[in-house]
Structure formats: C-alpha cells, structure tokens
Amino acid sequence: MTDALDSPDPPTDQPESGDAVARRLLEGVSSHAIFMLDADGAVATWPAPSAALYGHDAEAVLGRHVRMLFADDEGEADSDSLPGDFFEEPSEESVEFEHWHRRADGSVFWGTLTLSPLRNGDFHGYAAISRDTTATKEYERMLERQNDRLKEFTDILAHDLRNPLNVIEGNLTLYETTGDEEHLDAIDETTDRMAQLVDDLLRVARQGNVVSDPEPTDIGEVVDSAWAGLNLAPDATLGYETVRSVSSDPDRLRELFENLFRNSADHGGDDVAVRVGPLDTGFYVEDDGP
C-alpha cells in the first residue's frame, strides 16, 4: 500500500466563478474606483480604491443604491442623477454617466461613471468604473471662457473700430476735396488712436476686465477727448458739469465714453444733446433722445 504521506495531494484549485474572477481583477486595479453593483443597482463590492476616492468605508456603502454617490454641485444628494428606470431591465451594453459625485466629507467632484453589464450566462449586475474628471471639466470650461472672450473681443473690435474708420474716410474725402493737410494730420491722429485701441482690447482679452494699474483721472479731459474723437454731426452738443477725479485706466475710460456718446448719437439723431455730470457715487451720462 502506498504511504499516504507520499500520495499526491488531491487538487484543491477549483475553477473560479465569473464573479470571483471579476472581484479579483477589480481589487487589482488602483487607478480608478471600480466596484460592483447587483442587478438592482445596490453596491455589492467596495474595494480599497473606491474607498480612497469617495472616503466611504465598506460598511457605509454596501447594500445601498449607487445613487448615494451622486450629488448636485452644492454637495446635496441628487436622486435624479440616473434615469429612474435604468435598473428595471438589464442593460445590454456599457453606459456612461457624467455627473457630480459626493465624497463622505461632503465635498464634490465631477466624475464619469461607466456601468458595464456582468454576464456569466445569466445577468448578475454591473461592473462600475468611476473616475474623477474634475480637471478635464475645468479645462473644458476654460476653453469655453476663452472662446467667449474671443467672441467678445471680435465684437468689440468691430464695434469700436467702426467710428475711427469713418473719421479716416471723412478726412480723406475732405483732403481730396480741399488739399488741406490738416485733414492728413487728423487721419494720422486717428490711426494712432486705433492702434492704442487694438492694444487695449488685446490686453483686456488676455487679462480680463480687471484694471491692474489705475491712476487719478481728470474726467473732463477724458470726456472732451472722447467727444472730439467721434466726429459727430455738427448739431450734436455736449454739456459737461465738473466731475471729481476718479481712479481709472484713462484709455479704457475714454472707450467707455466713446461708446456711450456713439450710442446716444445712434439713437438720438444728429441733433442729440448729451450731458455728463456728477453723482455722489461717480458720474452720469444722459441724452435727450427717445
């Protein structure tokens, strides 16, 4: 009889079930929060990477619906984050949801949750992969802001350059008619103004709307300069009551007055009367147009 000690041990390794293989794979992945849901959407496994991402230990999550992980942008629970009927019938393919997620401490992050059906003959539930995509979301928002600022820049550029171009055209016509070189001087001054305007608009587009280096500004001088640069109809009049100095960027303040005066002329007609005067909090601009 063969000694039992010399007998080969009976095989102990049994083929792993599909669920066991899935669990072992999930435990080995650390770059994402990966866990499993049962067929009804309740959390069935909660590996360490999931706990690290969300801050919940397994006891707080297991058996609870996956909707507990979703929130609105204020950190409040959001039960509408997944379609209400999603878990009523097994999904045939992977589905991805983008939404705010909530950590155990109440903080939120923008994340992507991918649910992939688990089948080993029968439907068993879902493998859930959750990724913090906040950085990607913020980058997309930055691109949107840049596109908005680019559109704003082009709109302002088209609007604010229209009048200087009209001034140049008018003075060129007068020079061709009279030969008086003072009209060339006016054209030269206007082109300098256009160059300054483009530089100012580029700075605004790059830096935003904050004035980084304001200085004491004489409102009267800025008002006179803005009015003179517009070359409005001869019947248009400007009234000015002394306004105390303000801290501003003079060039951008001039652009403001130019836009206001131009709008008054556009809507009030050739004989529009514009007034600038003081307020306790600054100054006002008004006209007698409709």
The residue with greater pLDDT, 266 or 35, is: 35
Per-residue tokens: 263: 């709008």
Q: Among the listed ranges 52-61, 147-156, 170-179, which one has the minimum average pLDDT value?
A: 147-156
CA distance 71 to 179: 73
**Predicted confidence band of residue 11 (pLDDT cuts 50, 70, 90):** very low
| 145: helix, strand or coil | helix
CB 96 within 8 A of CB 80: no
pLDDT range class, residue 83, cuts 50, 70, 90: low
Token pair 């393919």 in the structure block, residue: 93
Architecture of domain 211-290: 2-Layer Sandwich (3.30)
Model pLDDT for residues 36-57, shown as the tens digit of each residue:
999 889 999 999 999 999 999 9
Mean pLDDT of 16-32: 57
Under CATH, what is the fold of the domain 15-132?
Beta-Lactamase (3.30.450)
Residues comprising the chain, all counted: 290
Distance CA 168, CA 189 (A): 9
Task: Write out pLDDT tens, residues 116-155.
Answer: 998 887 888 999 999 998 888 888 888 888 788 778 777 7
How far is Cα of residue 280 from the mean position of the Cα atoms in its chain? 36
Q: Which residue from 192, 196, 254 is spatially nearest to 221, judged by alpha carbons? A: 254
Question: Matching CATH topology for 15-132 and 211-290?
Answer: no
Enter the tokens of residue 245: 């100095």
As a whole number of Å, the end-to-end CA separation of the chain is: 118
- Both structure tokens of 30: 């650390």
Rounded Cα distance between 197 and 208, Å, is 15
| Domain range list for the chain | 15-132, 145-210, 211-290
| Eight-class DSSP state of 14 | P
Residue of 268, 190, 274 whose CA lies nearest to 230: 190
| C-alpha–C-alpha distance, residues 159 and 263, integer Å | 11
